[in-house]
């Protein structure tokens, strides 16, 4: 069964550094998403992406964040100048089309020191 994959599974970085989180959505899916879950808190929407552009973004997704689909398979989330409060689990998800079920990847646990 096709799955969303994410790399790395864990990332430790120093405050102020840039990180890139990678995702490979399910191959026939057209919509891609990033969510964040701070430990013990709810899953929060960051951004959705369709047809090589951002479809929607939340208040969390400020200028520090960017997304890109650099090739036909990868979908990345870049966090510039990381802050302590960026420490969280970051989930990538994808769906066949708008409004359909979103399937989540295993997540990348980011720790900013």
Partner 1 sequence: QKEVEQNSGPLSVPEGAIASLNCTYSDRGSQSFFWYRQYSGKSPELIMFIYSNGDKEDGRFTAQLNKASQYVSLLIRDSQPSDSATYLCAAQLPNTGNQFYFGTGTSLTVIP
Q: Considering only residues 67-106, where is the footprint of partner 1 by CB under 8 A?
A: 91, 95, 98-99, 101-106
* Stretch near partner 1 under the rule CB under 8 A, chosen from 11-19, 48-56, 66-74, 75-83: 48-56
Work out the burial of residue 36: count CB atoms within 10 Å of its CB; fewer than 13 is exposed, 13-18 middle, 19 or more buried: buried
Closest alpha carbon to 26 in 4, 48, 1, 47: 4
- Residue ranges that bind partner 1, judged by CB under 8 A: 31, 33, 35, 41-45, 48, 50, 55-56, 58, 91, 95, 98-99, 101-107
């Amino acid at each position: 069964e096709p799955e969303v994959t994410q790399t790395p599974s864990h990332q430790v970085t120093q405050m102020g550094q840039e990180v890139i989180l990678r995702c490979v959505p399910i191959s026939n899916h057209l919509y891609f998403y990033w969510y964040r879950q701070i430990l013990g808190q709810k899953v929060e929407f960051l951004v959705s992406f369709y047809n090589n552009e951002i479809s929607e973004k939340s208040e969390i997704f400020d200028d520090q964040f960017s997304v890109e689909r650099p090739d036909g398979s990868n979908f990345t989330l870049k966090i510039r100048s990381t802050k302590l409060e960026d420490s969280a689990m970051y989930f990538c998800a994808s769906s066949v089309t708008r409004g359909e079920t979103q399937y989540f990847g295993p997540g990348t646990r980011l720790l900013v020191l």
